[in-house]
Structures are given as C-alpha cells and as structure tokens.
A and B are shown apart, each in its own frame.
Chain A
Amino acid sequence: MAELRRSPLEGVALGDGFREVPFLSQIDLRLNPADEGARGAVESVVGPLPLVPNTVHGGHDAAILWLGPDEWLVVGPPGSAADLERQLRDTIAAATDAGPVAIVDVSANRTTLELDHPDARAILAGGCSIDLHPRAFGPGRCAQTLVARAGVILWQLDDAPTYRLLVRPSFAAYLAEWLTDAIPD
C-alpha cells in the first residue's frame, strides 16, 4: 500500500520555513456530546473530546480537533486510521447505551503543512483574517478558516510558534506556493 500512496505535494518544490507532514491519519467523528453513552464509548478509545469550540486535545503525534458542536477530527500517525476506526466501531457496537455515531476515515481528504518559522504569525496574517495574537490564538487552538482564500484547518502546536495547516489535496500545491512566496528569505 505504502508505495501506492502519493502525496499531493510530491514533486512540488517547498521553500524554507515549512514542510509537508504527509499521510497523517484523520478520522472524522460525529456524535451528540450530550449523549453520554456514545461520548463515553468514544472517549474510552481516543481520550476526552475537546468541547470548547476551536480547541485541540493532544499534540504532534495524536490529537483531537474540535470542528463543530457535534464534530471532531482525530489526527494520528500515518497508517493508524484503519485500526483506530475498527477499535472505535467495536467499542461503540459494544456500548448498548450509545446513540448514533458517525466514524469516517478522511485521511486522504487533507494533507498537512507544518509552518515552523519565527515570523509565522506575520506570514499567516498576510492571508488569514483570524486574530493570531497569543492572547487570542495560542497552542492547542484550531480554526477552520481561509488562508489565502483556501479553506484550511489551522492548528497551533506550540509557542515557537509552529502551525499546522490541513488543506485539501487540490489546494495543497497552491497553498505551498503561496507560503513559499510569503516567507521572507
């Protein structure tokens, strides 16, 4: 399988200051957070879901991103999606008090750019209307928004600041070129 995978940025020359983190596992979770049976079953597998809008639980290797009032994105290392999906399905099937839950492997839906640059805030601010000031947007925050008019999930990892931009494959090369152009030499 691994040799059949092809990143949308394969062959695209990336500038300094950012890199692609390809093939991250991504599972889209939909459930009613008030449904304690479903939430308990899911949380026994992936850990507590972030209930505060635009926040993340976890970090580099494994994380859960809030995408909506009843929607989360579970991000993990490449190749872990199938196992995690099966584990979630088995746990929910065994939980008799769980209401409806949707579990979709969306790993191929987005690739990830990791921007690690001392001027990352200013670079992103050139194409993004989110307030990225540390007071408003720090580590453990995420937002679905537009960067250079391309839809992304923007996710701040640490204070460096390091950002991840999860972008759809068809916009990935464009966004990479925009970043290459936006990052000062």
Chain B
Amino acid sequence: MLLITCPHCGPRDEVEFRYGGQAGVASPADPEALDDATWARYVFFRDNPKGPFAERWVHAAGCRRWFDAVRDTVTNQFLDPEPRR
C-alpha cells in the first residue's frame, strides 16, 4: 500500500489514484511526417529504469487533477511530486 502525496489534496491512499505512465513524453510536432517505426517508438516504447522514474498520476477519487511525480522503482518511494496540469 502506497501513500501518494497529491500536490493539491495532500497524502492519500494509493487506491484513490490511477497511473498515467511515463511523464514528459512529448507528442510529435508533425505526426504525419513520421514513419511507422518512429510512430511505434512514440506510442509503445517507454523507459523502464531501475531507480527514480518521472511518472504521470491522476488523483481519480479526489480532485481529479493530473500531476507529475518521481517514484523510485526500487523502493516505491515518492520523491517530491511537482504539480503540473
């Protein structure tokens, strides 16, 4: 059971949140110009680090806002979440 700190509501139980995958994946500026391999890499390929990982989370049962958080994938510890909408 994780205790996740929502930047707006404060520390809440893990079950109130939904996971949104890796943070900072920019959508391609000109998607029509991409070839299939590059598009597939954008859609399907994500980092899978051992250690700190920047992630998107949504406080689904609370304020319903999305935010970025950095979680250590080894210890499951959350390092300072930064609000970002």
Which single residue of chain B is at the shortest CB-CB distance from A68?
Answer: B63
Contacts of B65 in A (CB 8 A): 68-69
Q: Which of A17-25, A142-150, A163-171 contacts B (4 or more CB under 8 A)?
A: A142-150
B12 at the interface (CB under 8 A from A): yes
Give Cα A145–Cα B64 distance, bound, in whole angstroms: 11
Which single residue of chain B is at the shortest CB-CB distance from A130?
Answer: B12
B residues lining the A interface (CB < 8 Å): 8-10, 12-13, 15-16, 61-65
Given contacts A144-B62, A145-B61, A151-B61, contact A53 B15 (CB under 8 A): no
| Contact present for A69 and B15 (CB under 8 Å) | no
Say what secondary structure dominates the interface of chain A: strand
Per a CB cutoff under 8 Å, which of A53, A129, A151 touches B9?
Answer: A53
| Contact present for A54 and B12 (CB under 8 Å) | no
Contacts of A149 in B (CB 8 A): 15
Contacts of B63 in A (CB 8 A): 53, 67-69, 71, 144
Which single residue of chain A is at the shortest CB-CB distance from B65?
Answer: A68
Q: Which of A148-167 contact B (CB under 8 A)?
A: 149, 151
Give Cα A67–Cα B16 distance, bound, in whole angstroms: 15
| Contact present for A146 and B16 (CB under 8 Å) | yes
A residues lining the B interface (CB < 8 Å): 53-54, 67-69, 71, 129-130, 143-146, 149, 151
Given contacts A53-B8, A68-B8, A69-B8, contact A143 B62 (CB under 8 A): yes
- Most chain A CB neighbours (cut-off 10 Å) among B8, B10, B12, B63: B63
Which single residue of chain A is at the shortest CB-CB distance from B6?
Answer: A53
Q: Can you list 13 A-B pairs, Cβ within 8 angstroms, ordered by A? A: A54-B9, A68-B8, A68-B63, A68-B64, A69-B8, A129-B13, A130-B12, A143-B62, A144-B61, A145-B16, A145-B62, A146-B16, A149-B15
Give Cα A149–Cα B16 distance, bound, in whole angstroms: 9
Given contacts A54-B9, A69-B8, A149-B15, 14 further A-B contacts (CB under 8 A): A68-B8, A68-B63, A68-B64, A68-B65, A69-B65, A129-B12, A129-B13, A129-B15, A130-B12, A144-B61, A144-B62, A145-B61, A146-B16, A151-B61
- Please name the 9 residue pairs, one residue from A and one from B, whose CB atoms are nearest each other, closest first: A129-B13, A68-B63, A144-B62, A146-B61, A151-B61, A53-B8, A69-B8, A53-B9, A68-B65
Give Cα A146–Cα B16 distance, bound, in whole angstroms: 7
Min CB gap B16→A, angstroms: 6
Which single residue of chain B is at the shortest CB-CB distance from A153?
Answer: B62
